[in-house]
């Protein structure tokens, strides 16, 4: 009886053990299939993301899959087809039952912040503290220049009004006409500045772009948004400025003859600042702002140079002569100083546009113009000293200052205008649109191999 009981017990236990082993084997099989599916999805991710837009990467260092695949019309179905092909190559035949891609992150999402984040990441990986310190210096110089420029404009307006009132008073009380010593300079200031700051305006690009249906103007396709890794902060803005200055061309690249003309507008940094549809218009906009910066800085220096102030005062006395109108000589002196500061700014701009450096803070050794040359600016500008100041700032440094005065959204979207404009004019890229560029999306697939289950994965570039 005891032997029989043991035999029945072992028989029952064997059935339980067989069921257990079968469950373990089935579980192991399912785990293997799930692991195989995840590996296949990973391989599919590498494969589909390797089809990034080559020209976009080569020119701008950006990694995006163009969902239009050169056709100009977004086709997510083709992307899903490519994913199925990659999955089928690494999974048993017939196991891929369905596949869906959605939730695309687009370059233009949140007014370009998705692209901004990738550009910032690129610069953080390839540059160190040196460029950050340099850009911070540009930021500090820009703040100082803005203060001096504002003070100069306020002083100029007040002094011009004061001089005019005093001249009219003298004509009324003394019936003596007081010459306007800076009328010719004022006339030059009111006109185009390019003929003053460029020895040969014929070398300026005559390109014009059509600013219709560009990313900053059209309603772009909406995606899942940016990742939030490199948010729009003052520190990240510095890296973004570094990216723009490194990857976009400026006028000096072409005026100095170092670069051949390219697709779309040539003066691209100037477009980010000016936003006009012609190279000439953008260059003039930037030059006017550089002149304004230099006028303020130069006038600030004149206020500290007793010798140059005495020179202006002596000429003012000679022009006014004997008068009983108090303050008239001082008003003429101030007008001469303001005109001299402007003439010096023209010389500075000429130096910068020639590809040379110019001192940010002036000194007696870096002052380029004479008072007589300033008053005859239209005829004497070509003879200004354009020697380089060691340790000075370049035209590109001034562009960096001006970029900091442009709103983050504006310069981000304008830079996407440039990217799209350039890429679309390259061979085979006529259907390129930045809002059809994605660097991340979601995948859901249905797998069947004796049992069905769904697998999901985020496909994205790591940056």
Show the 3-state SS of 375-437: HCHHHHHHHCCCCCCCCCECHHHHHHHHHCCCCHHHHHHHHHHHHHHHHCCCCCCCCCCHHHE
Q: Is residue 121 part of a domain?
A: no
* Same domain assignment for residues 40 and 95: yes
* Same domain assignment for residues 200 and 343: yes
pLDDT of 261 reads: 83
Q: Is residue 117 part of a domain?
A: no
User: Could you tell me if 55 and 423 are in contact, meaning their C-beta atoms sit under 8 angstroms apart?
Assistant: yes
Q: Is residue 234 part of a domain?
A: yes
Closest to 255 (Cα-Cα) out of 276, 279, 274 = 279
Can you give the pTM of this predicted structure? Answer: 0.87
* Same domain assignment for residues 236 and 211: yes
For the record, the structure tokens of 240 come out as: 């973004």
pLDDT of 1 reads: 47
* Same domain assignment for residues 295 and 162: yes
* Same domain assignment for residues 391 and 443: no
pLDDT of 30 reads: 64
Q: Is residue 164 part of a domain?
A: yes
For residue 326, the number of C-alpha atoms closer than 13 Å in the C-beta half-sphere is 0
Count of Cβ atoms closer than 10 Å to residue 373 Cβ? 19
* Same domain assignment for residues 52 and 152: no
CB-based burial of residue 230 (10 Å sphere; 0-12 exposed, 13-18 middle, 19+ buried)? buried
pLDDT of 25 reads: 62
**Number of separate domains in the chain:** 2
pLDDT tens digit at each of 463 positions of the chain: 455 566 776 677 777 777 766 666 656 556 656 777 788 888 999 999 999 999 999 999 999 999 998 888 998 999 999 999 998 888 888 888 899 999 999 999 999 999 999 999 999 887 665 666 666 777 787 788 888 888 888 998 999 899 999 989 988 988 888 888 788 888 888 778 898 898 887 889 999 999 999 999 999 999 999 999 999 998 899 899 999 999 999 999 998 777 778 889 999 999 999 999 999 999 999 999 999 999 999 999 999 999 999 999 999 999 998 887 889 999 999 999 999 999 999 999 999 999 999 999 999 889 999 999 998 887 776 667 667 888 899 999 999 999 989 999 999 999 999 999 999 999 999 999 999 999 999 999 988 876 777 888 899 998 8
* Same domain assignment for residues 437 and 367: no
* Same domain assignment for residues 87 and 159: no
Q: Is residue 442 part of a domain?
A: yes
- Regarding beta strands 452-460 and 96-106, do their DSSP bridges make them parallel or antiparallel, or are they unpaired? unpaired
* Same domain assignment for residues 164 and 86: no
Q: Residues 365, 200, 284, 374: what is their CA dihedral angle, to the nearest 10 degrees?
A: 40
Range of the domain at 333: 127-421
* Same domain assignment for residues 103 and 196: no
**442 vs 212: CA distance, rounded Å:** 32
Distances from the Cα of 263 to the Cα of 103, 260, 418, 424, angstroms: 33, 10, 10, 9
- Sign of the alpha-carbon torsion through 343, 348, 351, 352: negative
pLDDT of 57 reads: 96
pLDDT of 83 reads: 93
* Same domain assignment for residues 414 and 437: no
Residue 218's SS3 state is coil
Q: In whole angstroms, what separates CA 251 from the centre of its chain?
A: 15
Closest to 319 (Cα-Cα) out of 176, 125, 144 = 176
**How many residues in the chain?**
463
* Same domain assignment for residues 361 and 441: no
Render 142-158 in DSSP notation, one character per residue.
HHHHHHHHHHHHHHHHH
For the record, the structure tokens of 171 come out as: 């004509």
User: Could you tell me if 38 and 457 are in contact, meaning their C-beta atoms sit under 8 angstroms apart?
Assistant: yes
Q: Is residue 119 part of a domain?
A: no
Q: Is residue 233 part of a domain?
A: yes
Q: Is residue 428 part of a domain?
A: no
Render 160-173 in DSSP notation, one character per residue.
HHHHHHHHHHHHHH
């Amino acid at each position: 009886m005891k032997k029989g009981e043991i035999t029945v017990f072992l028989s029952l236990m064997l059935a339980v053990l067989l069921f257990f082993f079968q469950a373990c084997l089935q579980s192991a099989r399912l785990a293997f299939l799930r692991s195989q599916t995840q590996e296949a999805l990973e391989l599919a991710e590498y494969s589909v993301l390797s089809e990034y837009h080559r020209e976009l990467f080569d020119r701008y260092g950006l990694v995006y899959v163009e969902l239009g695949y050169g056709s100009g019309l977004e086709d997510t179905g083709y992307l899903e087809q490519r994913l199925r092909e990659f999955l089928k190559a690494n999974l048993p035949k017939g196991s891929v039952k369905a596949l869906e891609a959605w939730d695309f992150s687009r370059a233009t999402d949140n007014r370009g912040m998705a692209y901004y984040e990738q550009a910032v990441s690129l610069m953080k990986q390839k540059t160190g503290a040196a460029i950050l310190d340099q850009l911070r210096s540009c930021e500090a110089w820009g703040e100082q220049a803005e203060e001096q420029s504002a003070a100069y404009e306020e002083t100029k307006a007040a002094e011009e009004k004061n001089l005019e009132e005093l001249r009219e008073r003298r004509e009324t009380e003394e019936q003596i006409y007081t010459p306007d010593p800076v009328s010719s300079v004022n006339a030059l200031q009111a006109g185009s500045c390019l003929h003053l700051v460029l020895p040969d305006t014929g070398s300026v690009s005559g390109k014009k772009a059509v600013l219709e249906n560009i990313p900053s103007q059209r309603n772009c396709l909406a995606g899942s948004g940016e990742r939030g890794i490199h948010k729009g902060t003052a520190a990240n803005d510095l890296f973004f400025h570094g990216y723009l200055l490194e990857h976009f061309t400026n006028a000096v690249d072409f005026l100095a003859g170092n670069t051949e003309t390219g697709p779309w507008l040539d003066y691209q940094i100037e477009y980010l600042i000016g936003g006009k549809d012609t190279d000439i218009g953008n260059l003039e906009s930037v030059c006017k702002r550089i002149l304004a910066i230099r006028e303020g800085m130069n006038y600030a220096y004149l206020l500290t140079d007793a010798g140059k102030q005495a020179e202006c005062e002596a000429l003012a006395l000679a022009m006014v002569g004997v008068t009983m109108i108090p303050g008239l000589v001082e008003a003429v002196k101030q007008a001469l100083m303001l005109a001299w500061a402007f003439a010096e700014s023209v010389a500075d701009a000429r130096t910068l546009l020639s590809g040379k450096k110019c001192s940010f803070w002036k000194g007696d050794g870096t002052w380029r113009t004479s008072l007589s040359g300033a008053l005859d600016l239209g005829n004497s500008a070509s003879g200004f000293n354009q020697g380089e100041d060691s340790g000075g700032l370049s035209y590109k440094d001034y562009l960096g200052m001006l970029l900091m005065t442009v709103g983050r959204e504006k310069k981000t979207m304008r830079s996407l205008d440039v990217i799209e404009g350039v890429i679309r004019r390259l061979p085979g890229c006529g259907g390129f649109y930045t809002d059809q560029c994605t660097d991340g999306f979601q995948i859901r697939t249905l797998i069947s191999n004796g049992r069905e289950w769904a697998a999901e994965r985020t496909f994205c570039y790591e940056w």
